[in-house]
Amino acid sequence: MIFRKLPVVWIIILAAFAVFVMTMMAALPGADNASAERSADPANTSPELAHLPIVQNIPLPPPPPTPTSSPYSAAATLYITPNTDLLASTFNTASFVVNNDSLNGQRLAELRIDLRTRLFPDMVFDPYGKAGDTVAKDVVVDVREGLSFDGHFYETPHDGGFDQLILKFRNFDRGDRFAFSVDVDPTSITGVAAPGPHLTGSVGGLELVGATITATFDDGTVLVNQTWRMDGSSDPNHSGAIAVLRPGLPERPVLEVVGGSSPAMVGSPDQVIRISGPVGRPVVLLVVEGGLFTAGVPGGGVDLDPFEPNTALGAREFTGVIGLAGILDIPVNLRKSMPEGGINYITAAFDNHYGVKGMVATPLALQLP
């Protein structure tokens, strides 16, 4: 026999292996007509499996379906310094472009631009040269085709300038063209010669992200949205902003600094921003490094507040989708590109799944020393 040719130690090993295999087979389902399943009820669990954990396959809930685009009739769009670089200025020709996008004949009657909710504080309309640098510009109509412009006026005085501009129209139909320019300046450089230290007197759409735009139509429809950074530019530091006004756009996101607060001076550039909102909603987080430049400004600056920048130095965007817990955490690396910089303003907007942004989150301010 073959076992006679094997050493005794190998015979012992083979015998032990045979006993192990027989023991494992006895524990398989059906052995001794007993179930080998680990049950949640200890009385129904075989002794051989009583020590094993209970594994339950609980499927995750499916994500909500992508909503269809909301139907609309009255609609409008405002562009601020479209297709321009970081040093764009609302002073330049056709820096504001207004479109009537209505589908059923509604005419745009009024457009209100409210800067009180803009990203950077203390940016105002400066039509008379009393806020910002010494060069001023009231509204100048640069393009007008097919409509009647009934004039403009300002509201909400602010440190020599104004927070709100209201434009009045007649017969503003879909397809008509209207563009204008007007000076916007930071109040912190009041009295300095143009264009201000580090070109701070050149304010573009990026600094005005979050401005509240209200469109009123001749049928009584009133639509409100806020400006957001334009998509589709090849320049990561472009300054174009856009507000699409139509019904059914996303609500405002809620932001917080994980493990921190805002506004705040922070010791580390590495921070995590938490966005709260509806499950499955696409979101864009915008981080803008700002700087405060006051060299040559009378008195060293006017009405300065903590964490106040007066120009944008760069911008980055981060995209994601709100998770099943109703939150999305995005790690960001704050920047300080020059000694006067490091004042990072952070905001966000939800996408309607079709590229249109809704209301803008109240910004966070984090400054690097």
Neighbours of 286 (CB within 10 A): 22
Report angle CA 292, 252, 355 to the nearest 5 degrees. Answer: 95
Give pLDDT, residue 68. Answer: 73
Helix H segments across the chain?
Answer: 8-26
Here the tokens at position 221 are: 């429809």
Fold of 76-367: S-adenosyl-L-methionine-dependent methyltransferases (2.20.130)
Answer yes or no: are the C-beta atoms of 228 and 360 closer than 8 Å: yes
What is the pLDDT averaged over residues 120-149?
97
Average pLDDT, the chain: 89
Domain segments of the chain as ranges: 2-49, 76-367
Residues paired with 118 in a beta bridge: none
Give pLDDT, residue 30. Answer: 46
Answer yes or no: are the C-beta atoms of 239 and 199 closer than 8 Å: no
Note if the bond before 195 is cis, omega within 30 degrees: yes
Give pLDDT, residue 33. Answer: 42
Name, in order, each residue with C-beta under 8 angstroms of 238's C-beta and a sequence gap of 6 or more.
83, 84, 85, 86, 206, 229, 230
Give pLDDT, residue 67. Answer: 72
- Which of 351, 344, 347 lies closest to 361, judged by CA? 347
Q: What is the pLDDT of residues 236-273, one digit of tens each?
A: 678 999 999 999 999 999 999 999 999 999 999 999 99
Q: Supply the pTM of this predicted model.
A: 0.82
Distance in angstroms (rounded) separating the CA atoms of residues 260 and 257: 5
Give pLDDT, residue 325. Answer: 96
Q: What is the DSSP string of 16-64?
A: HHHHHHHHHHHTSTTGGG------SSGGGS-GGGTTSPP----PPPPPP
Give pLDDT, residue 168. Answer: 98
What is the pLDDT averaged over residues 193-216?
97
Q: What is the pLDDT of residues 179-189, one digit of tens each?
A: 999 999 999 99
Please say if the pLDDT value at position 313 is more than 80. yes
Distance in angstroms (rounded) separating the CA atoms of residues 199 and 180: 22
Measure Cα distances from 337 to 124, 147, 330 in Å. 26, 46, 21
355: alpha, beta or left, given left = phi > 0 and alpha = psi -120 to 50? left
Q: What is the DSSP string of 307-319?
A: T--SEEEEEEEEE
Radius of gyration of the chain (CA): 32
Neighbours of 190 (CB within 10 A): 26
Measure Cα distances from 86 to 71, 226, 293, 339 in Å. 35, 20, 16, 19
Give pLDDT, residue 237. Answer: 78
Give pLDDT, residue 12. Answer: 64
Answer yes or no: are the C-beta atoms of 156 and 164 closer than 8 Å: yes
Distance in angstroms (rounded) separating the CA atoms of residues 159 and 132: 9
339 pLDDT band (50/70/90 cuts)? very high
Please say if the pLDDT value at position 25 is more than 80. no
What is the pLDDT averaged over residues 212-216?
98
